[in-house]
Amino acid sequence: MYKRVIIGLGFLFFSVSVFAQSNLRTKSISLSSDTVLIDTVSIVPGTLSIKDALEQIVKTEYSTIDYPKALLIWKRKPVVYPLKITYKVFPFLFTRKYFNKDIGLINEESIKNSKTYTYQPTLQQNTLFNFKELNKSGSISRSVGVGNAQDLSVNYSMNLKLS
């Protein structure tokens, strides 16, 4: 019995780990400029490794890495091309501005013009009692009464006068 449970749990954990997404990425780049955009999301600091075509690690003194912007800036370009970069990423870019409303839409004219934010509802005709010569008046009341022995009573009343 216990053997089956342990095997079932082991299979469950193994299958979950197989379908999990990895944040490890590998990319091959060529050096067309001294600044290279590696990815569209931020890189985890300390996880970037650069290897040349001969699978030798390129020295870190040759480059500067801007991890939040995912930029690789070369001080001195390596001789062997192409380069293979392996790194881990965060799920978003730290330097991008995230906001709910666009602040650029607010300007001085929209603040001075108070009519921009004025709500004017349209008047609707009374369709329930649409009698032109009939005068209507009345009241509706509701009351809740609470007693000593946990009694509760709810009363409604409507007084309608038509003339």
Residue 74 lies in a domain: yes
In a domain, 66, yes or no: yes
Instruction: Using pLDDT thresholds of 50, 70 and 90, give the confidence band for residue 136.
Output: confident
Q: How large a percentage of the chain has pLDDT more than 70? A: 79
pLDDT for residue 141: 92
| pLDDT attached to residue 12 | 57
In a domain, 103, yes or no: no
- Total number of residues shown for the chain: 163
Judge whether 102 lies within some domain.
no
The CA-CA-CA angle for residues 82, 87, 90, to 5°, reads 140
For position 5, what pLDDT does the model report? 64
pLDDT of residue 107: 74
What pLDDT does 71 receive? Answer: 93
Distances (CA, A) of 11 to 16, 19, 103: 9, 13, 51
Residue range of the domain that includes 37: 22-88
pLDDT of the residue at 66: 93
Check if the beta carbon of residue 135 is closer than 8 Å to that of residue 158: no
Instruction: Please state the rounded mean pLDDT for residues 121-138.
Output: 73
Domain count across the chain:
1
Indicate the pairing of strand 83-88 with strand 49-51.
antiparallel
Q: Which of 103, 99, 74, 89 is nearest to 25 (CA)?
A: 89
pTM of the model: 0.51
pLDDT at 9: 63
Among residues 72, 66, 90, 6, which one has the least CA distance to residue 33?
72
Query: Is residue 114 in a domain?
Result: no
- Give tens-digit pLDDT for 32-58: 888 999 999 999 999 999 998 888 888
pLDDT tens across 69-115, in order? 999 998 888 777 788 999 999 998 999 888 787 777 777 776 666 55
Query: In the chain, pLDDT over 90 holds for what percent of residues?
Result: 29
pLDDT, average across residues 53-64: 85
How far is the C-alpha of 106 from the C-alpha of 90, rounded, in Å?
32
* Residue 140 lies inside a defined structural domain of this protein: no
Among 24-33, 95-104, 115-124, the range with the most confident prediction by mean pLDDT is: 24-33
Is the residue at 120 inside a domain?
no
Is 113 domain-assigned? no
Q: How confident is the model at residue 13 (pLDDT cuts 50, 70, 90)?
A: low
